[in-house]
Structure 1
Amino acid sequence: MHSLSPFQPTAASLPPKGATYLQKQVQGISVNHHALNPLSFILRAATVYPDRIALLHPDVKYPVQYTFRVWAQRIQNLAYALIEAGINPGDRVAVIAPNCPMIADAHHGVLGARAIFTPINTRLTPPEVAYILEHSGAKLILVDQECTHLIRGTTIPTIVSNDTGRDDDPYEAFLASGRRFSRERGWMGLDVERDEDAGAVLNYTSGTTGKPKGVLTTLRGSYLAAVGNVVEGQMNKESTYLWILPMFHAAGWTYPWANVFACAKQVTIRSVDYNAIWRHFLHSRVTHYCAAPTVQIGIVNHPDARPLPQPVTAIIAGAAPTAQLIGQLEQQGIKPVHVYGLTQTYGPFTRCYDQDSWSSLSLEDRAKLMARQGQSFATAQEVRVVYPPRHDNDQELIDVPRDGNTVGEIVTRGNIVMKEYFRDPDATKKAFRGGYFNSGDLAVMYPDGVVAIMDRSKDLIISGGENASSLAIEQELAAHPDVLEVSVVARAHEKWGERPMAFAILHPERSSKWEGNHDAFVADLKKHARTRLPGFATPEWVEVVQELPKTSTGKILKTALRKRVAKL
C-alpha cells in the first residue's frame, strides 16, 4: 500500500520547473550561525529526496499522496495564503482537525508565515474551544469539515477543509490563492524568522484543575525536540510513521517535524481505527508509531494481531507499559520504547534506555525496569528529582538521595522546555521556580540516574499517613492474567483517610469465567494484590467496568473517576 493511482495533485500543488528550496538570506547574522527552525526540514527533504512519498492519506473517500517536492509547494502556498489573509509575524493561527493533510501542512506552513501554530483538541466542547480562541487571540481558523460545529457563530475568519485534495475543496482554493499571491517568488519571497526563540506553537493543556493554560513553545525548542525524537526512535528515510497519536496533542510530540527531518514517509488516519491500524501494519510497511498504553492494549488484542513481517517501534507515553503488554507487543515484533514528557516539554524528554544485561531477565523483571521513566533525551538537559519547596518563594532546589525510595518532584530545564504560559506570568513564575520547570510529577531517583514516577501529586493516595502510588498499584493489578486494563484512584475512608479503589476491565478472552460472578473476581484480584502490595496500597474496593474514560490520546481520565468515586 505505497501508491494511490491515478491520484493527481491540484495544479497549484505542482512546483514550477527548476524550483529551488533556498530561503532568503538574513542580513546582519554571523556567518557561523543560523536560527534553528523546523521549517528547514521540509526544504532539505524536498532537495534531497524530491520524488519520495512524504505524506499518504489513503483511508478516505478521496485518497491523496504527496511527494516531498509537491508537499513543499503546498506548504509554501499555505504560507503565502496566510500572509495574503493578513496574518502577521506572531499572530496565532488556530487549527481544528483530526490527523489529515491540512494539519500536517499547518505544522510547517504557519511557521513559513512566521505565525504561531495553535492546534485545538477536536474532542473539546464549543465553550472550551471558544475560550481557547479568545485567550489565544487567534486571527484565523483552519477547520476540518467534521469540526465546524465547534466554532459555530465565530466571527474569526475561517477556512474549511473537506479533506479531498481536489480543486473544489475550500482549503485547496485557499492554497491556490496563496500560489497566485506568491507570483512565483518561491521560498526566496518569504521573510525568514531571525529569532529562533520566537513562538512556534501554542498548545493548550487539558485544564483539569481550571481553565486550560496556553503552553508557548519556540522554533529552537521544536527543532531540537524533533531531532531528539529522530535520534531516540532511530528513524531514517526507510521509516514509515503511522499517525495514531493526534497531531493536535502537544503538536504531535513534534513528530510532524521529526518525520520530515528523517525524510520518512507519514501515513495519516483520521481516528484510532484498529482495523485500519492493522491493515497498515501488515501492508504499508509501518516501522514507527506513538500511542498511550490504553491504545496499545487495543492494538495487541485486535483479531488481526499477529507477528509482523517487519520490525516496528512503538513509542509509549502517558503511563508505564505493563509486563503483559510488553510481552504481547514483543510477540508481534513490536519493540516498546518507553518515554516520558509533558506538553510543557514538547512531549517526551526522557527515555528508558534498555540495557544489554536485561536480556537475561524474566519478562516481569524486565518490565519493572522498563516501566521507569529513564534519563534525559540526547537534546534535553538533565532531569532531576528534588524535594518540594516548603514555601512558594523558595528558589533553592535540593536533590533527593539516589536511593530509589525518597520521593520528590521531577524538574528539568534547557532546550526542550516551554518558553512560557501564554499571557499568564504568575503561572509561568510558579512553574519556573528555582530556575527549573517544575513538572508536578512525583518520582524517585535510582542510583543509576534513572527516574521513576510514583504519581502525579494529585493522584497520590495518602492512607493512614502512608503514601501509595496509584501507578505502582496499577502495575501490580495489571499483572493479573484476567485484567485487560485497570485504573486506581483514592476514595475516602472513615478510618484511614483514603484507600485505593480500582476500576478494572476484564480481558475479553477470559471474562466468561467470571460472568455473573464479579464478586469472585474482585476477591481473586484482591488476593493477587495482597501478595504484591503492602496493606495500605491494596485496593479496598474494586469495580468491574466495560470501559474507562479517556482523553483523545487514550490517556485515562482520572478526574472523571474521582468525580464518580466522590458520589459513592
Structure 2
Amino acid sequence: MAPSTPKARLSQVKGHLAAPEQPLATRFRPSLPPGLHPSFTPLNPLAFLLRAAQVRPDHVALVHPEKYLSWTYSQWAIRVAQLAYALKANGVKAGDRVMVIGPNVPFVSDSLQAVPAVQGILVAVNTRLQPADVAYLIQDSTPTLILVDAQFEELVQGTVVPVVVCFDSGRDDDPYEKLLAQGAAYDREHGSLGWSGLEFQKDELATFAISYTSGTTSKPKGVETSYRGTYLAAVANAMESGLTFDSVYLWILPKFHCLGWCYPYANTLAMSTQVCLRSVDYSEVWKGLLERGVTHYCGAPTVQLAIATHSMARKPTQAVRTTVAGAAPTATLIKQIEALGITIDHIYGMTETFGPMTKTFFLDSSSPTYYEDKARQGHAFRLADDVRITRLIPEGEEHKVVEGGLEEVKNDGTEIGEIVMRGNLVMKSYYNNPQATAKAFAGGYFHSGDLAVRRPDGTFAIQDRSKDIIISGGENISSLAIESALSSHPDVLECACIARPHEKWGERPHAYVVLKNSASWHGRHAAFEKELKGFSRGKLPGFATPEWVEVVDALEKTSTGKVQKHVLRAKLKELLSVGKK
C-alpha cells in the first residue's frame, strides 16, 4: 500500500526532472567497467535503484510529507543521476570523499545513491556532533565536497572545503536544487547520457563509505565498508526484515548511522516506498503507522519505548514490522511493542558489521519464555558467517591470538566470552588507522568488545560490553541482566546500571531509574529505591542486586538512542570525588 501523501508540489522540482531522450530500458543502465568477463558483474547496491526505476518507474519511491513532496522511482533515479553529474562537474573523482550532513530528508537519500555513482566515498556525519568534532572528521577524511542541511550549517563554518547547503524546500532557488540543475546541464552538454555516463565501480571490494564510530573513549574511528558488503547487507536486511514490493518504510533511524543500517539499499532492492521524517516526532511516527500505511521502521530500544508509551499508541490496521537494535531490548519492552500488533525483529550488530548481523529465528510465541528468548541475540544472518563466542584475551596479549588461535566458550549459557565475527558483513578496516585495524582483527576475526554466553541451543545472548561488566567479589555481573530485571517493575520506564566502587567487594551495581509518568512514587524516591531493591531480590542473585538505586528524570542518550553509560560513569566519579554521594 503506497502512502497517501499528496504530490501537489512536484511542480516545484519539475525543471530538474526532465528525462533524457532515451528508451526506459537504457535510460537507467550505467556503463560497466571495461574488461569484465560476461560471467561477472561487480556487486554494487546502486543496481537496486536502477532496476526499480526500470521495473516500477511510476511507483512512489520517496515521500517527504512535511513538504508535500514525492518522487516516483524513475523521477528519483533521474535526480540521483543529476546529483552525480553535479558532483563530477564540481571536481569529485573516483576515491574522493564527499561528506553528507543532514537529517532524514530527501537530499540525504539522493546523496547515499549519487556519491557512489561517481565512485566517490560517502562520509555521512552524525548531526548531533559539535563543530570541533566535525572539524576533526573533516581533517581525518579530507573530503572534496560537503553537502549539508541548512539546519546544521554551523557545524562546517570556517572550513575551507567547498560546501553546498540544502534548505530542504524543493524550490528552484534552493542551493541544492541549483546543484541538481547544474548536474542536468552537465548531462545535456555531454549528450544527455542518463546513467550511461556513470561507470560502475570495477572493484567490488573498493571502499563504499567511511562511517565514524562514536568515539566515547577515544578519537572516532572511520569504519571502511565495501561495495560488496553494502550490497550483501542490503540483501540480508530486506530478507530478514521481510521487505516486499508493498512495504512502506518510515525513516526514524538516522541515515548517518551505518548508512541507515544499509536500509536505503534494502528498500530499493525491495522496490518499496520510503517516507522521510525530518525529526523523530512521535506524533508523526504514529500518523505514519495509522494514516500513511507504514509497514516497517527501525529503532533503538529507547525509541521503541517512546513509541509504545505514546498517547496515540494503538494497533495499526496493517501488519507492521520493526527492527530493534543499538542496545539489547528487555523482554518487557518486546512485550509492550508486540502487544500493539507490531512484530519485532531483534537484531544485533555494530558499525563495523554494516549494522544488523544477527537475529532471533523461529520462536514459539506460546512459550512462557517467548519474550525472554526474543531478547537474546539468536543466530547470524543467512548471508553472514556464524558468530563465535571466544574466551577472553588478557589486555596487551592480542598477538598471542595469532599463535594459538581463538578458543570457544562452553555452550552452557554460563561461561562469558567475547563476540567475534568475520565474513561478508564485516568492515574492511579502520580508515588511516592500521594499528586499530590490526588489534580489531587479531586471530583472523573482528573483535566486538561485547561479552556474551552461548546457550545449549546454539543461540547467543549478550551479557554486556566488556567495559560495562560489573565485577563484584570475583563474580561477573551483567548490567543488562540487572536492567532487564528492573525494567519489569510496573512503575519503571527505563533504567541503566553501572559499576560503582565498593570498599569490600571492589564493585557493586548502581542503578539509574526513570519512573513512568503514571507511577505513584514521584516525590517519594527514597521509598521507591527501597521498593525496587526488594523487587529485584526476587529476580536476581544476591550479588547482582543493586547496592544503590537512584531515580533520575532522564538518561543521556546518543543520537541513535543508546544510553551513554560513559556519561553516567563520569558524573558518578565526579560526585564521589567531592564526597556528595
Q: The TM-score by the shorter chain falls in which range?
A: over 0.9
Aligned to 1:368: 372
Per the TM alignment, residue 217 of structure 1 is displaced from its structure 2 partner at its CA by 0.3
- Partners in 2 of 1:382 and 1:322 — Cα distance? 24
- Partners in 2 of 1:454 and 1:502 — Cα distance? 16
Aligned to 2:14: 10
Question: Conserved in 2, the CA contact under 8 Å of 1:407 and 1:444?
Answer: yes
Q: Deviation string for 1:138-168 (max 9, x for gaps)? A: 1110000000011111110000000011111
Q: Which residue, out of 265, 271, 277, partners 1:269? A: 277
DSSP-derived class of the 1:82 partner: helix
Question: Conserved in 2, the CA contact under 8 Å of 1:41 and 1:261?
Answer: yes
For 2:9, the aligned partner's letter is F
Matched, 1:88 2:97: no
Matches within 5 A, 1:543-554: 543-554=550-561
DSSP-derived class of the 2:151 partner: helix
- Partners in 1 of 2:327 and 2:214 — Cα distance? 17
Q: Deviation string for 1:341-369 (max 9, x for gaps)? A: 000000010011132xx22223xx21211
Q: Which residue, out of 467, 470, 476, partners 1:461? A: 470
Matches within 5 A, 1:21-170: 21-59=28-66, 62-170=67-175
Aligned to 1:516: 523
- Partners in 2 of 1:6 and 1:318 — Cα distance? 37
Q: Deviation string for 1:172-195 (max 9, x for gaps)? A: 100110111122111111122110
DSSP-derived class of the 1:459 partner: coil
For 2:260, the aligned partner's letter is G
Aligned to 2:248: 240
For 1:158, the aligned partner's letter is V
- Partners in 2 of 1:453 and 1:466 — Cα distance? 17
Question: Conserved in 1, the CA contact under 8 Å of 2:164 and 2:175?
Answer: yes
Aligned to 2:417: 408
- Partners in 1 of 2:370 and 2:572 — Cα distance? 34
Aligned to 1:418: 427
TM-score (norm 1): 0.97
Question: Conserved in 1, the CA contact under 8 Å of 2:44 and 2:200?
Answer: no
Q: Which residue, out of 310, 315, 319, partners 1:311? A: 319
Per the TM alignment, residue 389 of structure 1 is displaced from its structure 2 partner at its CA by 2.7
Per the TM alignment, residue 545 of structure 1 is displaced from its structure 2 partner at its CA by 0.9
Matched, 1:444 2:453: yes
Q: Which residue, out of 376, 398, 403, partners 2:407? A: 398
Q: Deviation string for 1:52-76 (max 9, x for gaps)? A: 00000112xx331010000000110
Per the TM alignment, residue 516 of structure 1 is displaced from its structure 2 partner at its CA by 2.1
Q: Across the two proteins, how many residue pairs are aligned to each other?
A: 560
For 2:208, the aligned partner's letter is A
Per the TM alignment, residue 272 of structure 1 is displaced from its structure 2 partner at its CA by 1.0
- Partners in 2 of 1:124 and 1:471 — Cα distance? 27
- Partners in 1 of 2:375 and 2:171 — Cα distance? 46
Aligned to 2:579: none
Question: Conserved in 2, the CA contact under 8 Å of 1:345 and 1:418?
Answer: yes
Aligned to 1:536: 543
DSSP-derived class of the 1:148 partner: helix
Matched, 1:380 2:384: yes
For 2:161, the aligned partner's letter is I
DSSP-derived class of the 2:203 partner: coil
Matched, 1:434 2:434: no
Matched, 1:475 2:480: no
For 2:110, the aligned partner's letter is D
Q: Deviation string for 1:284-308 (max 9, x for gaps)? A: 1111000011111100111101111
- Partners in 2 of 1:111 and 1:134 — Cα distance? 21
- Partners in 2 of 1:218 and 1:326 — Cα distance? 33
Question: Conserved in 1, the CA contact under 8 Å of 2:479 and 2:497?
Answer: yes
Question: Conserved in 1, the CA contact under 8 Å of 2:7 and 2:69?
Answer: no
Q: Is 119-128 or 28-37 further displaced after alignment?
A: 28-37
Per the TM alignment, residue 319 of structure 1 is displaced from its structure 2 partner at its CA by 2.2
Aligned to 2:217: 209
- Partners in 2 of 1:14 and 1:283 — Cα distance? 32
Alignment identity in percent?
49
Q: Deviation string for 1:289-337 (max 9, x for gaps)? A: 0001111110011110111111111100022222322222122110111
Question: Conserved in 1, the CA contact under 8 Å of 2:450 and 2:465?
Answer: yes
Question: Conserved in 1, the CA contact under 8 Å of 2:5 and 2:292?
Answer: no
Matched, 1:326 2:330: no
Matches within 5 A, 1:486-501: 486-501=495-510
TM-score (norm 2): 0.95
- Partners in 2 of 1:325 and 1:109 — Cα distance? 38
Question: Conserved in 2, the CA contact under 8 Å of 1:10 and 1:167?
Answer: no
Question: Conserved in 2, the CA contact under 8 Å of 1:63 and 1:164?
Answer: no
For 1:455, the aligned partner's letter is D
- Partners in 2 of 1:52 and 1:268 — Cα distance? 16
Aligned to 1:354: 362
DSSP-derived class of the 1:7 partner: helix
Per the TM alignment, residue 525 of structure 1 is displaced from its structure 2 partner at its CA by 0.6
DSSP-derived class of the 1:385 partner: strand
Aligned to 1:251: 259
DSSP-derived class of the 2:196 partner: helix
Q: Is 186-195 or 119-128 further displaced after alignment?
A: 186-195
For 2:381, the aligned partner's letter is F
Per the TM alignment, residue 209 of structure 1 is displaced from its structure 2 partner at its CA by 1.1
For 1:437, the aligned partner's letter is F
Aligned to 1:288: 296
For 2:95, the aligned partner's letter is G
For 1:145, the aligned partner's letter is A
DSSP-derived class of the 2:19 partner: coil
Aligned to 1:194: 202
Per the TM alignment, residue 14 of structure 1 is displaced from its structure 2 partner at its CA by 3.1
Per the TM alignment, residue 3 of structure 1 is displaced from its structure 2 partner at its CA by 3.3
Question: Conserved in 1, the CA contact under 8 Å of 2:7 and 2:70?
Answer: no
Question: Conserved in 1, the CA contact under 8 Å of 2:20 and 2:194?
Answer: no
Question: Conserved in 2, the CA contact under 8 Å of 1:10 and 1:166?
Answer: no
Question: Conserved in 2, the CA contact under 8 Å of 1:218 and 1:419?
Answer: yes
- Partners in 1 of 2:536 and 2:326 — Cα distance? 23
Question: Conserved in 2, the CA contact under 8 Å of 1:10 and 1:165?
Answer: no
Q: Deviation string for 1:433-458 (max 9, x for gaps)? A: 01111111011111222111110000
Aligned to 1:526: 533
For 2:151, the aligned partner's letter is E
Question: Conserved in 2, the CA contact under 8 Å of 1:321 and 1:367?
Answer: no
Q: Deviation string for 1:529-563 (max 9, x for gaps)? A: 11111122111111111110000011111011111
Unaligned stretches of 5+ residues in structure 1: none
Question: Conserved in 2, the CA contact under 8 Å of 1:289 and 1:313?
Answer: yes
